[in-house]
Structure 1
Amino acid sequence: MVPKGWEQNTLSGIVKEKISYGIVQAGPHIDDGVPYIKSSDVRGGINPNQLQRTSHDIHHKYRRSAVHPGDIVFSLRGNIGEAAIVPSELKEANLTQGTARISVSNEHDSLFHYYQVTSTSILNHVNALSKGSTFKEISLEELRKVRVLCPPLAEQKKIAQILSNWDQAIATTERLLDLAQQQKKALMQQLLTGKKRFPGFEGEWKAVKLGSIFSRVTTRNDGQSENVVTISGQQGLIRQDEYFNRTVASETLDNYFLLKKGQFAYNKSYSISYPMGAIKRLNRYDDGVVTTLYICFALAAKDKADSNFFEHYFESGLLNRGLTQIAHEGGRAHGLLNVKPADFFDLKVPLPVLAEQVKIAATLTSADQEIQALQSQLDGLKQEKKALMQQLLTGKRRVQCALDEAEA
């Protein structure tokens, strides 16, 4: 249903130039050439400083797809539906074949229609129109026929302004979150290596073997638990059905290791964020069962070592150098490092006095809490913006300028 005073149109009906894709073969990068925008450049907004450049001859040949400030660039393949506004500092650029230019006419507001094409309803529609099994894309013909709601120009501008204010709040929170994360990383490197000490603590730290303060956990699950957990780099030890949306464990769990709350597990699978695997502590649940591919262990010397201190230490990546030395040749088969338990427990770790460990852990935990608070704030802003888009872009909620015009 079209709201009162609004019209329904197609994307091809709101543009001043035909919706087009760009250059088929951009050729080698030319330092003083013309910037061009690929699908991957659209993600998260266009950064002019990161764009590759094509020759002026190729740009002239494809002048039909030249873009200017205010144009919408829409990804046709790969990250289908991601879009961005060409920033004011990018005076002229071009596109590749995987992106399309939507150059909105003067009777419409470009920012408003940017929000429209990135709304959930239109993205779902675009994905439904996409073709291809492994590499999906939407054709220009289908994109041009996508229907959009068009309020009067003044209302378009007002809606765009409201949503832009939300974007600014989101961007500010993202910057604060990034700053807090960087500060915590720096703090970890200083506090967990002894480069920065708290007043009242002096003297050299001991270096001890992991096996002198931790004991290996090899308790088999004998029907005590059905809580299958896996290690996620971002979420720690988490239920498989929450992480994968399904359980990928064997039907019988009797041969799995049984882990208790507060105990640790080392996942030897490596990734970009965790090049030598990840060590996580079981915090969410009273118990959990894990694959025997993990090296599991518990704090044994509670009079000498603090569990929270070592949770932060393992997360810092400071153990990676030692892990690199014990990961045996040919040990990256099937995505797993070949780290033997005996070698793992022979690794040396720093051991300040217990009181200093507790102080360091409390400081880093406080930094974590600040990060979590900012992440929650960011998630809330994004969710609220999504709900607001659903209301404003469909006319379910009208803005003041529309009400003023209706009363006039």
Structure 2
Amino acid sequence: MDHTCIPEEMHESMKSSKVLAGDILLNITGGSIGRSCVVPTNFKEGNVNQHVSIIRLKKDNPNFLQSILSSWRGQKLIFEGQTGSGREGLNFESIKGFKVSFPTVSEQQKIASFLSLLSERIKTQIKIIEQLETLMSGLRQKIFSRQLRFKDDEGNDFPKWEEKNLIQLASRIISKNKENNQNVLTISAQQGLISQLKFFNKSVAVSIPQ
């Protein structure tokens, strides 16, 4: 979430929008509606604008509730709680009406700690993947520009690369699929060639030539 520095006098005059450590911040309007976070314990004070709702719990674990809000169940509550003909946002009354099941505070802490550990592991893995993708991009450039060459199993140089038109290596497929099946394929940047049914998780219409 973006932040802006404001004068101390204005900060004091905006008491209803003051943010404290442990608060849950929930976006209630715009394209990021439903996104939430817990204010870190080392945070001192701040303010939010009218697009963000502050949820301050009396005794329950804020990380536990934030995890619920981020889950499909919480997002369903947020979607159903939106007001207006175009479902353009949440208001405080709809937020107060959210019904959530709470275990004891000690169990909340256990659940929140476990989910936090998984979240940190995911962040670490994402960082590793991003580093590997950057490495692969750089290596591809060097390999295909022939700055980097490999050797054969005996340690000898491979022959020089030959330039060829693609038509010399492949043929165009123009025949139509006449089988009545649902094995329609698509290309995913992450997974390569996969079934459209799996990729879009919905039925795919297939035209069968007459």
**Superposition TM-score, scaled by structure 2 size:** 0.75
Q: For 1:13-162, what aligned pairs fall within 5 Å after superposition?
A: 41=1, 51-53=2-4, 55-56=6-7, 59=11, 61-77=13-29, 78-88=31-41, 90-105=43-58, 107-132=59-84, 134-162=86-114
Return closer, same or farther for 1:210/1:58 CA change in 2, 3 Å cut-off: farther
Name the structure 2 match of 1:215. 171
- Deviation of the 1:143 alpha carbon: 0.3
> What do residues 195-240 of structure 1 show as CA deviations (whole Å, max 9, x unaligned)?
211233256433222222222222233x246443344444444444
Supply the AA of the counterpart residue of 1:195: Q
Return closer, same or farther for 1:169/1:230 CA change in 2, 3 Å cut-off: closer
Return closer, same or farther for 1:218/1:81 CA change in 2, 3 Å cut-off: same
Whole-angstrom distance in 2 between the partners of 1:203 and 1:89: 61
Whole-angstrom distance in 1 between the partners of 2:88 and 2:150: 56
Moved >6 Å (runs of 4+): none
Contact 1:240 1:248 in 2 (8 A): no
Whole-angstrom distance in 2 between the partners of 1:197 and 1:89: 51
Supply the AA of the counterpart residue of 1:124: K
Are 2:123 and 1:167 aligned?
A: no
Q: CA RMSD in A?
A: 3.0
**Superposition TM-score, scaled by structure 1 size:** 0.43
**Structure 1: runs of 5 or more not aligned:** 1-40, 42-50, 255-408
Are 2:137 and 1:185 aligned?
A: yes
Equivalent residue of 2:4, what SS? Answer: strand
Supply the AA of the counterpart residue of 2:150: F
**Structure 2: runs of 5 or more not aligned:** none
Contact 2:23 2:38 in 1 (8 A): yes
Q: Which structure ranks higher in relative contact order (CA pairs < 8 Å, sequence separation ≥ 6)? A: 1
- Deviation of the 1:140 alpha carbon: 1.2
- Deviation of the 1:181 alpha carbon: 2.6
Whole-angstrom distance in 1 between the partners of 2:196 and 2:27: 33
> What do residues 72-112 of structure 1 show as CA deviations (whole Å, max 9, x unaligned)?
1112133433211123565433323222111223x332223
> What do residues 163-188 of structure 1 show as CA deviations (whole Å, max 9, x unaligned)?
32222222222223333333322332
Contact 2:180 2:208 in 1 (8 A): no
Contact 2:36 2:70 in 1 (8 A): yes
Whole-angstrom distance in 2 between the partners of 1:114 and 1:224: 49
Equivalent residue of 1:84, what SS? Answer: strand
Q: Percent identity?
A: 26
Contact 1:68 1:93 in 2 (8 A): yes
Whole-angstrom distance in 2 between the partners of 1:157 and 1:239: 41
- Deviation of the 1:191 alpha carbon: 2.2
Return closer, same or farther for 1:201/1:79 CA change in 2, 3 Å cut-off: same
Whole-angstrom distance in 2 between the partners of 1:248 and 1:61: 59
Structure with greater strand share of residues: 1
> What do residues 332-357 of structure 1 show as CA deviations (whole Å, max 9, x unaligned)?
xxxxxxxxxxxxxxxxxxxxxxxxxx
Are 2:159 and 1:206 aligned?
A: no
Contact 2:18 2:47 in 1 (8 A): yes
Equivalent residue of 1:215, what SS? Answer: coil
Whole-angstrom distance in 1 between the partners of 2:133 and 2:198: 25
Supply the AA of the counterpart residue of 1:123: Q
The structure 1 residue matched to 2:185, chosen from 223, 229, 235, is: 229
Supply the AA of the counterpart residue of 2:123: A
More moved, 223-232 vs 120-129: 223-232
Supply the AA of the counterpart residue of 1:247: V
- Deviation of the 1:141 alpha carbon: 0.8
Name the structure 1 match of 2:204. 247
